[in-house]
């Protein structure tokens, strides 16, 4: 099984501060060749800030934008929003049409596939025209009366942003604990609800990660609290009915490069505390029936040792990279958990990455990655006979779904591909029978047979083969220089699998090819793929993406005047670097919540996520890493040159990539760039890293992005293919 704020800003609309806004060096039109109205982009004031370390000084003229409480900062962000709106005003009808088109494919009234645990079936319901989920359950059978646990639509009234992170039901099925964020900064308040009476109690716990785990006494809840940098750093024990000021601190992770969390094993027998950094983990366990007892360490942390723990019977099963780059599976008695007692269950393979396990009474399911694709490997405990599920497509994504019961012989898994909508299956692990329980319904005339998915390989500078997953509508000219959107991420070992998106049809049906570059820094090709794209090898991530773009042009699938690049967060860093390195390769770039001020951010340990990510990016307090980061940091490498057209998006309350990174980047680009390609910044003043809450509203930003690239190509609502 794969392991898995409070500051309100007054946004002032209206007149802009004269000291902040000046004239642009060159005027731009808001409608290409069709309007004489000239719009001047906002120009941010320069206030010199010297930043010195290792005997080297950088001058940051836009450092002042780091202060979100400064009215000038808010004025500047509003000025950029107004400029973006003005420059794209002629596309507003198209944006609305695209939004309606995207939302029109979504089944308005829908339910998730129910799963059964502790005597109840749980599922999520959506109702027509409503933004938020309704969390429901039924006792014993799906024919029983429906119990609405949380109607988030009702709860969200009066809030511009509302997110329920997680919920947990007490063992006696009577109480619910759930976490709510009303800002978008991923700082949650825990609430308690009586599922029999509907009463929401006065109990509240602030500054949490949004989830709680019940002990067997139906009174004790363990939860994780965040510090001032939003790092999950402490575990507390809360007694239901008592003021949270009386909560007992159970664990404090003092090392600021680590974060912590708490969860319950599938067996429900143990409460587990997980402590994690990029390269190192450590676990503690306590019987759920003994909530006031002392936690026991499974295996003390060791640098570069990652392990994850599952419980079954009398043993812990340990998914570990101990002497195994691609991980292996071990087991040990719950009474003797130290590494010296571990026994191997599944060995290491150089060509296969073990990503996780799911344990049943009679079967073990291994989720593994081979040749860039996920495999589900079924092993029978008694005979050790094994087989893999055959998915029958060249490129796809599959994952183990919710399987809360040990006794089942049915494995529930999720499946999709670039042409197959998201599907949930039950698979009988003995007979190999496969039952489709639900497939995402795409409203309208969608027919998967009209689209084609394939996998190609680009060759990187060092000879490495970089997989590219593509999807397009059949009938396009395979050597016709088609419009193409190339997506990339390439960090944290996070694999970008080829999944289905109904939203993407708005591109494909207008003749676009959509491509995913499976670049190093991800983990698609095994653990080494990740390690070859991090720290002092990070440049591989960027040159791999460029190699994919060059390959697609060489194959005549697209051309530089029709190819666009897209990435978000760490993928936004990728966008910033490729804009500096190869601005000639792309017609335009979409950068979402981009991590572009790498050096300054990684030197500021007061910013969320900084210290915990030294093992990903390096610690710039060490000169070797400082110099290397400085060589690629997008903000530090902006120079006078012709950049592609760019649309940059961010959120004011972003807790992961602070809004000022993209804001400063755009300000510097405005000052330095040559040529007349459009540069736009859009800040969601009411959201964070994940954008707007709600299932529909978030697609307005997608419509904005799509209309931006369509406009650059002259695609209008009346163009062929619409």
E strands, 347-475, are 352-359, 363-370, 373-380, 386-388, 397-400, 410-416, 423-428, 434-439, 451-459, 465-473
DSSP symbol at 40: P
Q: Is 584 a catalytic residue?
A: no
pLDDT exceeds 50 at position 16: no
Q: Are 425 and 436 in contact (CB under 8 A)?
A: yes
Question: The dihedral of CA 138, 141, 143, 144: what is its sign?
Answer: negative
pLDDT exceeds 70 at position 642: yes
pLDDT given for residue 230 in this prediction: 86
Confidence of residue 95 (pLDDT cuts 50, 70, 90): very high
Mean per-residue pLDDT for 620-647? 97
pLDDT given for residue 8 in this prediction: 22
- Return the closest-CA partner of residue 185 out of 568, 543, 592, 684: 684
Q: Are 422 and 416 in contact (CB under 8 A)?
A: yes
**Interval 353-404: pLDDT, tens:** 999 999 999 999 999 999 889 999 999 999 999 999 999 888 899 999 999 9
Mean per-residue pLDDT for 144-160? 94
pLDDT exceeds 70 at position 583: yes
**Interval 31-59: pLDDT, tens:** 544 443 578 999 999 999 999 999 999 99
**C-alpha distance across the termini of the chain, in Å:** 43
* CATH number where 591 lies: 3.40.50.1820
3-state secondary structure of 412: strand
Q: Tokens 């109480």 sit at which residue?
A: 175
Q: Is 689 a catalytic residue?
A: yes
**Interval 117-128: pLDDT, tens:** 999 999 999 998
Distance CA 517, CA 78 (A): 34
Q: What percent of the chain has pLDDT over 70?
A: 92
Q: Which of 17-26, 205-214, 508-517 has the lowest mean pLDDT?
A: 17-26
**Interval 461-473: pLDDT, tens:** 999 999 999 999 9
Q: Is residue 130 in some structural domain?
A: no
For the chain, the average pLDDT equals: 91
Q: Is residue 680 in some structural domain?
A: yes
Distance CA 174, CA 181 (A): 24
Q: Tokens 């099984």 sit at which residue?
A: 1
pLDDT exceeds 80 at position 695: no
Confidence of residue 477 (pLDDT cuts 50, 70, 90): confident
More confident residue, 9 or 623: 623
Mean per-residue pLDDT for 607-633? 90
Confidence of residue 476 (pLDDT cuts 50, 70, 90): confident
Q: Are 142 and 121 in contact (CB under 8 A)?
A: yes
Q: Is residue 694 in some structural domain?
A: yes
Q: Is residue 618 in some structural domain?
A: yes
Taking only Cα atoms into account, the Rg of the chain, rounded to an integer number of angstroms, comes to: 26
How far is the CA of 175 from the CAs of 212, 586, 712, in angstroms? 12, 54, 54
**Interval 417-451: pLDDT, tens:** 999 999 999 999 999 999 999 999 999 999 999 99
* Pairing, β 220-226 against β 397-400: unpaired
List, in sequence order, every residue forming a beta bridge with 12; answer none if it has no partner: none
List, in sequence order, every residue forming a beta bridge with 679; answer none if it has no partner: 646
Confidence of residue 131 (pLDDT cuts 50, 70, 90): confident
Q: Are 373 and 383 in contact (CB under 8 A)?
A: no
Confidence of residue 186 (pLDDT cuts 50, 70, 90): confident
* Number of neighbours of residue 96 by Cβ within 10 angstroms: 14
Distance CA 182, CA 7 (A): 11
* Number of neighbours of residue 290 by Cβ within 10 angstroms: 12
Distance CA 62, CA 717 (A): 39
Choosing from 569, 592, 693, 707, the catalytic residue is 569
Q: What percent of the chain has pLDDT over 90?
A: 82
pLDDT given for residue 12 in this prediction: 20
Distance CA 15, CA 117 (A): 57
Q: Which two tokens stand for residue 210?
A: 């949004």
pLDDT exceeds 50 at position 665: yes
Q: Is residue 204 in some structural domain?
A: no
Distance CA 214, CA 222 (A): 7
* Number of neighbours of residue 598 by Cβ within 10 angstroms: 24
Q: Is residue 276 in some structural domain?
A: no
3-state secondary structure of 582: coil
Distance CA 250, CA 230 (A): 19
The residue range of the domain holding 461 is 451-471+478-713
Q: Which two tokens stand for residue 400?
A: 């183990």
Mean per-residue pLDDT for 682-688? 78
pLDDT exceeds 90 at position 524: yes
Q: Is 502 a catalytic residue?
A: no
Choosing from 689, 693, 707, 711, the catalytic residue is 689
3-state secondary structure of 527: helix
- 495-499 long-range contacts, CB within 8 A, separation 24+: 495/369, 495/522, 495/523, 495/524, 496/522, 496/524, 497/374, 497/396, 497/397, 497/524, 498/395, 498/396, 498/397, 498/417, 498/418, 498/453, 498/469, 498/471, 499/397, 499/416, 499/417, 499/418, 499/422
Choosing from 497, 597, 636, 654, the catalytic residue is 654
* Number of neighbours of residue 140 by Cβ within 10 angstroms: 10
**Interval 226-247: pLDDT, tens:** 998 888 999 999 999 999 999 9
pLDDT exceeds 60 at position 692: no
Q: Is residue 623 in some structural domain?
A: yes
Three-state SS sequence of 168-210:
EECCCCCEEEEEEECCCCCCEEEEEEECCCCCEEEEEEEEEEE
Confidence of residue 18 (pLDDT cuts 50, 70, 90): very low
Q: Find the angle CA(190)-CA(266)-CA(357) to the nearest 5 degrees.
A: 120
Distance CA 630, CA 637 (A): 8
Question: How many domains in the chain?
Answer: 1
Dmax (CA) of the chain: 79
Please give the torsion angle defined by the CA atoms of residues 472, 478, 481 and 485, in that order, rounded to the nearest 10 degrees: 20
Q: Is residue 298 in some structural domain?
A: no
């Amino acid at each position: 099984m794969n392991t898995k704020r409070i500051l309100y800003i007054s946004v002032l609309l209206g007149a802009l501060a004269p000291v902040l806004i000046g004239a642009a060096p060159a005027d731009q039109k808001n409608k290409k060749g069709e309007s004489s109205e000239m719009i001047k982009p906002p120009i941010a004031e320069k206030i010199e800030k010297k930043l010195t370390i290792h005997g080297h000084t950088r001058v940051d003229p836009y450092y002042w934008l780091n202060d979100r409480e400064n009215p000038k900062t808010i004025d500047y962000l509003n000025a950029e929003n107004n400029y973006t709106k003005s420059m794209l005003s002629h596309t507003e009808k198209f944006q609305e049409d695209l939004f309606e088109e995207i939302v029109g494919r979504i089944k308005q009234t829908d339910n998730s596939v129910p799963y059964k645990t502790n005597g109840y079936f749980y599922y999520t319901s959506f109702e027509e025209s409503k933004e938020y989920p309704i969390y429901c359950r039924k006792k014993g059978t799906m024919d029983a009366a429906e119990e609405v646990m949380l109607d988030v639509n009702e709860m969200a009234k009066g809030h511009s942003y509302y997110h329920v992170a997680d919920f947990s039901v007490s063992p006696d099925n009577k109480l619910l604990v759930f976490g709510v964020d009303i800002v978008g900064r991923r700082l949650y308040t825990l609430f308690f609800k009586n599922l029999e009476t509907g009463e929401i109690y006065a109990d509240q716990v602030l500054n949490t990660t949004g989830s709680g785990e019940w002990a067997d006494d139906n009174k004790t809840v363990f939860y994780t609290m965040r510090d001032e940098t939003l790092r999950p750093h402490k575990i507390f024990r809360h007694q239901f009915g008592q003021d949270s000021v009386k909560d007992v601190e159970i664990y404090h992770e003092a090392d600021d490069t680590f974060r912590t969390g708490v969860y319950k094993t599938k067996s429900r027998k143990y409460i587990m505390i997980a402590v994690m950094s990029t390269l190192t983990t450590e676990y503690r366990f306590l019987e759920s029936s003994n909530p006031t007892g002392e936690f026991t360490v499974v295996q003390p942390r060791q640098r570069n040792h990652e392990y994850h723990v599952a419980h079954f019977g009398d043993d812990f099963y340990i998914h570990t990279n101990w002497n195994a780059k691609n991980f292996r599976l071990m087991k040990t008695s719950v009474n003797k958990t130290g590494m010296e007692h571990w026994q191997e269950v599944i060995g290491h393979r150089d060509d296969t990455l073990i990503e996780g396990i799911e344990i049943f009474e009679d079967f073990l399911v291994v989720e593994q990655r081979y040749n860039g694709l996920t495999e589900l490997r079924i092993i029978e405990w008694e005979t050790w006979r094994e087989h893999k599920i055959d998915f029958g497509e060249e490129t796809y994504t599959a994952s183990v779904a919710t399987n809360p019961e040990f006794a089942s012989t049915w494995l529930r898994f999720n499946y999709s591909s670039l042409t197959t909508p998201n599907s949930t299956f039950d698979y009988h692990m003995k007979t190999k029978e496969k039952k489709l329980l639900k497939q995402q319904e795409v409203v309208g005339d969608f027919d998967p047979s009209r689209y084609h998915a394939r996998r190609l390989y680009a060759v990187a500078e060092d000879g490495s083969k970089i997989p590219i997953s593509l999807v397009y509508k059949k009938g396009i000219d395979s050597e016709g220089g088609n419009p193409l959107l190339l997506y990339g991420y390439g960090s944290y070992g996070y694999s970008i699998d080829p999944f289905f998106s109904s939203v993407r049809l708005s591109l494909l049906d207008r003749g676009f090819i959509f491509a995913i570059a499976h670049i190093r820094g991800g983990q698609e090709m095994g653990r080494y793929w990740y390690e070859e794209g991090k720290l002092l090898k990070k440049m591989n991530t960027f040159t791999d993406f460029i190699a994919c773009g060059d390959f697609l042009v060489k194959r005549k699938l697209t051309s530089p005047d029709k190819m666009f690049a897209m990435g978000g967060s760490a993928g936004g860093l990728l966008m910033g670097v490729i804009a500096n390195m190869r601005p000639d390769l792309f017609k335009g770039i979409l950068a979402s919540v981009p991590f572009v001020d790498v050096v300054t951010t990684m030197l500021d340990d007061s910013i969320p996520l900084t210290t915990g990510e030294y093992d990903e990016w390096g610690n710039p307090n060490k000169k070797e890493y400082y110099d290397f980061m400085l060589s690629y940091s997008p903000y530090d490498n902006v120079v006078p040159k012709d950049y592609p057209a760019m649309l940059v998006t961010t959120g004011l309350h972003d807790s992961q990539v602070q809004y000022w990174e993209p804001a400063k980047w755009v300000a510097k680009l405005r000052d330095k760039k040559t040529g007349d390609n459009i540069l736009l910044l859009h800040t969601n003043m009411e959201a964070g890293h994940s954008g707007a809450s709600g299932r529909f509203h978030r697609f307005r930003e997608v419509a904005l992005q799509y209309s931006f690239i369509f406009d650059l190509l002259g695609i209008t609502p009346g163009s062929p293919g619409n």
